[in-house]
């Protein structure tokens, strides 16, 4: 019997392997497979909730549970109203589950226009470091990660582009593909909406270009606490156009210092990094006086860190 020639499967990195495993777990039963198949056949067009339920032999509760699971892992993208659509690369997961070859990637025009433009710009920016496929994957994944908790989606593509840029920069640093000339500090708290943002803004203010600062949250909030900008302004510290972001593996690997505030053991540990835990109260729901007290505690700790790193600028230069 003559067999068709086989070709070696393309290599998959650790990030891709984890992502694929998580997605396959969300499509581990016939109901989820049926729902995803219907969305993939729609070729990126949103499918109304009622149409998606129709003909699937399962209760409404079971169907909603499967949809929620697939949204969490990025197989389904949110659309306005009770509508759903498959992610651009969901066909790859579906093909894997069904045992069908999927050598041809999903058409490029399935990416929303704003994300497509972002992917093109970042592909050019990181052309000497990462492949186009890696850049596109990070753009799509960054969009999904932010979409999970977004309450307002109007600016989501823009934020996803910024998040993808930060993640790709961290990945390049972690893999030694770029030359690190300044210490890299990662601040992590639970919501990435208060403590870590105060710390990051304070260190940027003190260290300027002498330090690279990132922030993340183990369960990020939808937005930064409005009081945070107020108390930072009172202290003469600007808060850049930041937004809560989830903690990612490459951010930890890129950091020289990982400073946690109230997130326990959620942060992965890698050798060669210095880990510090600052026992600072979460200012969420506190009075303005209590938030100011938390701000002052964090600013004091950041000043000590800046001195230790040798990056504190003269007081006159921070005004």
In a domain? residue 95: yes
Q: Are residues 151 and 248 in the same domain?
A: no
CA distance 240 to 19: 31
Provide the domain limits for residue 222.
Answer: 180-318
Chosen domain end from 156, 172, 188: 172
What are the pLDDT digits (tens) for 178-199?
A: 887 899 999 999 999 999 999 9
pTM over 0.95? The answer is no
Same domain for 215 and 159, yes or no, is: no
User: The CATH number of the domain where 164 resides is what?
Assistant: 1.10.8.1060
Residues with Cβ < 8 Å from 48, sequence gap 6 or more? 82, 83
Percentage of the chain modeled with pLDDT above 70: 79
Strand pairing of 184-189 and 83-86?
A: unpaired
DSSP secondary structure, 4-16, as one string? PP--PPPP--HHH
Rounded Cα distance between 44 and 110, Å, is: 6
Which of 125, 156, 172 is the endpoint of a domain? 172
Is 244 in the same domain as 314?
yes
Work out whether the CA dihedral 90, 91, 92, 97 comes out positive or negative.
Answer: positive
Q: What is the mean pLDDT of each run of 10 residues along the chain (319 residues)?
A: 42 58 78 82 71 77 84 74 71 63 43 83 93 91 84 79 95 89 94 96 93 93 92 93 90 94 74 90 93 97 94 57
- Specify whether 212 is located in the same domain as 233: yes
């Amino acid at each position: 019997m003559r067999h068709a020639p086989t070709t070696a499967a393309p290599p998959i990195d650790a990030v891709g392997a984890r992502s694929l495993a998580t997605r396959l777990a969300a499509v581990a039963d016939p109901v989820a497979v049926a729902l995803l198949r219907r969305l993939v056949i729609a070729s990126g067009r949103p499918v109304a909730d009622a149409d998606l339920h129709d003909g699937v032999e399962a209760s409404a509760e079971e169907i909603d549970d499967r949809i929620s699971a697939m949204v969490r892992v990025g197989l389904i993208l949110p659309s306005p109203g009770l509508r759903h659509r498959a992610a651009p690369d969901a066909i790859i997961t579906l093909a894997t589950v069904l045992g069908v070859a999927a050598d041809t990637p999903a058409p490029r025009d399935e990416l929303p226009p704003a994300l497509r433009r972002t992917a093109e710009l970042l592909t050019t920016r990181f052309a000497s470091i990462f492949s186009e496929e890696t850049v596109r994957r990070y753009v799509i994944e960054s969009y999904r990660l932010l979409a999970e908790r977004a309450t307002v989606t109007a600016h989501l593509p823009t934020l996803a582009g910024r998040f993808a840029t930060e993640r790709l920069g961290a990945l390049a640093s972690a893999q030694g593909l770029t030359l690190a000339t300044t210490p890299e500090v990662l601040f992590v708290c639970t919501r990435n909406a208060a403590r870590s943002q105060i710390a990051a803004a304070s260190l940027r203010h003190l260290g300027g270009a002498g330090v690279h600062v990132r922030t993340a949250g183990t369960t990020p909030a939808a937005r930064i606490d409005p009081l945070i900008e107020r108390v930072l302004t009172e202290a003469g510290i600007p808060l850049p156009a930041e937004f809560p972001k989830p903690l990612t593996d490459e951010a930890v690997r890129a950091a020289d210092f990982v400073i946690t505030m109230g997130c326990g053991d959620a942060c992965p540990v890698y050798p060669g990094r210095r880990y510090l835990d600052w026992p600072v109260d979460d200012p969420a729901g506190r009075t303005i006086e209590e938030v100011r007290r938390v701000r002052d505690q964090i600013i004091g700790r950041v000043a000590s860190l800046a001195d230790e790193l040798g990056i504190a600028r003269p007081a006159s230069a921070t005004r």
